[in-house]
A and B are shown apart, each in its own frame.
Chain A
Amino acid sequence: EAQVTQNPRYLITVTGKKLTVTCSQNMNHEYMSWYRQDPGLGLRQIYYSMNVEVTDKGDVPEGYKVSRKEKRNFPLILESPSPNQTSLYFCASSLAQGGGYEQYFGPGTRLTVT
């Protein structure tokens, strides 16, 4: 089944404790991205990657890192999480960049930083 998977689905952590949220897709998509969703603000893009070893900042990249060492995986790293990073996170992928390509979203990771 074609899908985007994220792990963990739920995470409660403390301020400053490094964490990684994994994202994997099995559709051989070139493009992957991370979003966060907060009440009243909709989905905002954090980082995106147009291919292996190619990443770029989205609208809200501060406090996050990403890497794209292989096509299927695009982990989101929070080196020193803070309470304002408490949010619902989604990973997405599409065949390529640009208009005309739909994005497939993962199920989401609900992160709480205390």
Chain B
Amino acid sequence: DAKTTQPPSMDCAEGRAANLPCNHSTISGNEYVYWYRQIHSQGPQYIIHGLKNNETNEMASLIITEDRKSSTLILPHATLRDTAVYYCIVRGLNTGNQFYFGTGTSLTVIP
């Protein structure tokens, strides 16, 4: 599975959009991009995933560049409850189902 690179930390003002970048320059054609988050020491929570096209759900939007080498998770109106560590993961269709979480981006939403 391709490895990912994320900034270690970011701040965002409450009510503003939080844009979390992820670099996955070695991604291959059958690998999905996943985003999870972990609040304090709770179990990681699934946010969204995509393969090629941009995706949106009730939590966030995922923007994948045309060359698929990077992506951005967008939380449209960040709240204090969005303060968490955000993990970007790439994972292939036929792998042994291993998720490489890395160390993620610690997002702090500031009042």
Q: A4-B43, A42-B104, A110-B41 are in contact. Are A99 and B99 (CB under 8 A)?
A: no
Task: Provide the residues of chain B in CB contact with A58, threshold 8 Å.
Answer: 98
A107 touches B98 (CB 8 A): no
Q: A4-B43, A107-B43 are in contact. Are A98 and B103 (CB under 8 A)?
A: no
Partner of B97, one of A42, A44, A88, A98: A98
Task: Provide the residues of chain B in CB contact with A37, threshold 8 Å.
Answer: 41
A99 touches B30 (CB 8 A): yes
**Distance A90 CA – B99 CA, assembled complex (angstroms):** 13
Interface of chain A, main secondary structure = strand
Q: Which bracket fits the contact residues of B?
A: 20 to 34
Interface residues of A, CB < 8 Å — how many? 32
Interface of chain B, main secondary structure = loop
Partner of A99, one of B32, B44, B45, B87: B32
Q: A90-B44, A107-B42, A108-B42 are in contact. Are A48 and B49 (CB under 8 A)?
A: no
Question: Which residues of A, 1-59, contact B by the 8 Å Cβ criterion?
Answer: 4, 31, 33, 35, 37, 40-45, 48, 50, 56, 58-59
B41, B99, B103 — most chain A CB neighbours (10 Å): B99
**Distance A19 CA – B52 CA, assembled complex (angstroms):** 44
Could you tell me which A residues sit within 8 Å of B by CB distance? 4, 31, 33, 35, 37, 40-45, 48, 50, 56, 58-59, 88, 90, 92, 94, 97-100, 102-108, 110
Could you tell me which B residues sit within 8 Å of A by CB distance? 30-32, 34, 41-46, 49, 51, 87, 91-99, 101-104
